[in-house]
Amino acid sequence: MIKVLFICHGNICRSPMAEFIFKDMVEKLNIKDNFIIESRATSSEEIYNGIGNKIYPPARRELINLGIGKTDYTNFDNKRAEQLKKCDYDNFDYLICADSYNISNTLRIVGSDKNNKIKLLLDYAGYTNKSISDPWYTGDFKQTSKDIIEGLNGFLEYLKII
pLDDT at 159 over 80: yes
- Residues acting as catalytic residues: 8, 14, 134
Domain limits for position 59: 2-161
Across 87-103, average pLDDT: 97
Distance of alpha carbon 18 from alpha carbon 25, whole angstroms = 10
Distance of alpha carbon 134 from alpha carbon 27, whole angstroms = 26
Count of domains for the chain: 1
- Return mean pLDDT, the chain: 96
CA–chain centroid gap for 73, Å, is 15
pLDDT at 49 over 90: yes
pTM: 0.97
3-state secondary structure string, 119-157? EEHHHHHCCCCCCCCCHHHHCCHHHHHHHHHHHHHHHHH
Across 37-61, average pLDDT: 97
Across 44-60, average pLDDT: 96
CATH of residue 134's domain is 3.40.50.2300
Strands 118-120 and 35-41: unpaired
pLDDT at 87 over 60: yes
